[in-house]
């Protein structure tokens, strides 16, 4: 009922001021929910491009760690970007850091934000609870976006009354370096919202690509099956993981082989995505689980972050 009421109000407004209603949202104030690597990276690039940013997480310790990580990352960026003018680099750092504030209460800061970008745990129930709560406090014009890499955007948006102002905004790690952003449009996402997010992505210096709300979007939908096929090739004994990696680097021109990439991304992350797809479509042969991957994850051998995955790291 609330969604119908919201839509009715917008319809009345748009009928009287058609041109105004079609105007895209110019994002100036951004709230990022989640102070992990992705959230901190998104906060950094937004602040570095002139946006006012509030970074939200559940504890002061996490937020302090996030700010420290952002500062270290900015130092590297400014050193490279302003190699011949260190003073300008220091000013860039200070200006960017001063544009980022932190909070442990998302509901108290979204009332004046133009865009909420969520980058928390990949759990639909948790995301739904978050957006359902924020929907009550955010301004009517505020756009909601999820950075999820594996969940359906529509399933998250349905927890709110602003499905027309909800989309996917999928960044890639590390955010300050990776140029791509996938902008995901659900059947309910308005063209105004979609175009506003395309423009926002460009202001960040990113290259946005658009995709419908399909499992894995573009990159992961092509990448994860490729990685799983490499594991199956190895499981069958057709080739060693070292030779598979070498073949894809030298034969296909990839910067990393599939097993190197699996260890870099995190085996638990790949398994989580594949398990979600398998749950959605258990009969799809592409979405079948890997015994080797399951075994390594069960043994906590998750890749570079734990010191061992398909390869061992010192």
Residue tagged active-site, from 99, 150, 220, 290: 220
Give the CA-trace dihedral at 27, 212, 39, 302, to 10 degrees.
-170
The CA radius of gyration of the chain, in Å to the nearest whole number, is 21
* E strand map for the chain: 29-33, 52-56, 100-103, 115-118, 143-146, 166-171, 180-185, 207-212
Annotated binding site for CoA: 73, 80, 149
Query: What's the confidence (pLDDT) of residue 22?
Result: 66
Determine the Cα–Cα distance for residues 192 and 6; give it in Å rounded to an integer: 16
Q: For this structure, is 220 an active site residue?
A: yes
Cα 124 to chain centroid, rounded: 14
Cα 266 to chain centroid, rounded: 16
The parts of the chain modelled with pLDDT lower than 70 are 1-22
Range 25-212: architecture per CATH = 3-Layer(aba) Sandwich (3.40)
Query: Assign residue 216 a region: left if phi > 0, alpha if psi is -120 to 50, beta otherwise?
Result: left
Query: What's the confidence (pLDDT) of residue 20?
Result: 42
Determine the Cα–Cα distance for residues 233 and 242; give it in Å rounded to an integer: 12
Q: For this structure, is 21 an active site residue?
A: no
Q: Does 1.10.540.10 match the CATH number of domain 220-306?
A: no
Annotated binding site for NAD(+): 34-39, 57, 122, 127, 149, 173, 305
Determine the Cα–Cα distance for residues 300 and 267; give it in Å rounded to an integer: 9
Strand partners, 171: 181
CATH 1.10.1040.10 location in the chain = 220-306
DSSP annotation of 23: S
Q: For this structure, is 308 an active site residue?
A: no
Annotated binding site: 34-39, 57, 73, 80, 122, 127, 149, 173, 305
Calculate the alpha carbon distances from 171 to 6, 72, 120, 121, 209 in Å. 30, 20, 13, 15, 11
Q: For this structure, is 210 an active site residue?
A: no
Residue tagged active-site, from 182, 190, 201, 260: 182
Determine the Cα–Cα distance for residues 259 and 226; give it in Å rounded to an integer: 11
CATH 3.40.50.720 location in the chain = 25-212
Residue tagged active-site, from 170, 190, 260, 290: 170
Query: What's the confidence (pLDDT) of residue 14?
Result: 42
221 and 195 Cβ atoms separated by less than 8 Å: no
Residue tagged active-site, from 149, 150, 190, 201: 149
């Amino acid at each position: 009922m609330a969604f119908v009421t919201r839509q009715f109000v917008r319809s009345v407004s748009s009928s009287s001021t058609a041109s105004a209603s079609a105007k895209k949202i110019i994002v100036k104030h951004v709230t990022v929910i989640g102070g992990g690597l992705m959230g901190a990276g998104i906060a950094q690039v937004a602040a570095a491009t002139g946006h006012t940013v509030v970074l939200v997480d559940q504890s002061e310790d996490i937020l302090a760690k996030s700010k420290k990580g952002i500062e270290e990352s900015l130092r590297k960026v400014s050193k490279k970007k302003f190699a011949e003018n260190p003073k300008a680099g220091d000013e860039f750092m200070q200006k960017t850091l001063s544009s980022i504030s932190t909070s442990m209460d998302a509901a108290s800061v979204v009332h004046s934000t133009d865009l909420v970008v969520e980058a928390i745990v990949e759990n639909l129930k948790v995301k739904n609870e978050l957006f359902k709560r924020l929907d009550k406090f955010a301004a009517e014009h505020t756009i909601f976006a999820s950075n999820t890499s594996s969940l359906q955007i529509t399933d998250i948006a349905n927890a709110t009354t602003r499905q027309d102002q909800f989309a996917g905004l999928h960044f890639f790690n590390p955010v300050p370096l990776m140029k791509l952003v996938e902008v995901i449009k659900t059947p309910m996402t308005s063209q105004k919202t979609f175009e506003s997010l395309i423009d926002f992505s460009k202001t960040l210096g990113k290259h946005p690509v658009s995709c419908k709300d399909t499992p894995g979007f573009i990159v992961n939908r092509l990448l994860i099956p490729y990685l799983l096929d490499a594991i199956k090739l190895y499981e069958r004994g057709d080739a060693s993981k070292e030779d598979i990696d070498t073949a894809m680097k030298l034969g296909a021109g990839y910067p990393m082989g599939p097993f190197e990439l699996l260890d870099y991304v995190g085996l638990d992350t790949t398994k989580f995505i594949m398990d979600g797809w398998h749950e959605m479509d258990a009969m799809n042969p592409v979405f079948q689980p890997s015994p080797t991957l399951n075994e390594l994850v069960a043994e906590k051998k998750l890749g570079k972050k734990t010191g061992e995955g398909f390869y061992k790291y010192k």
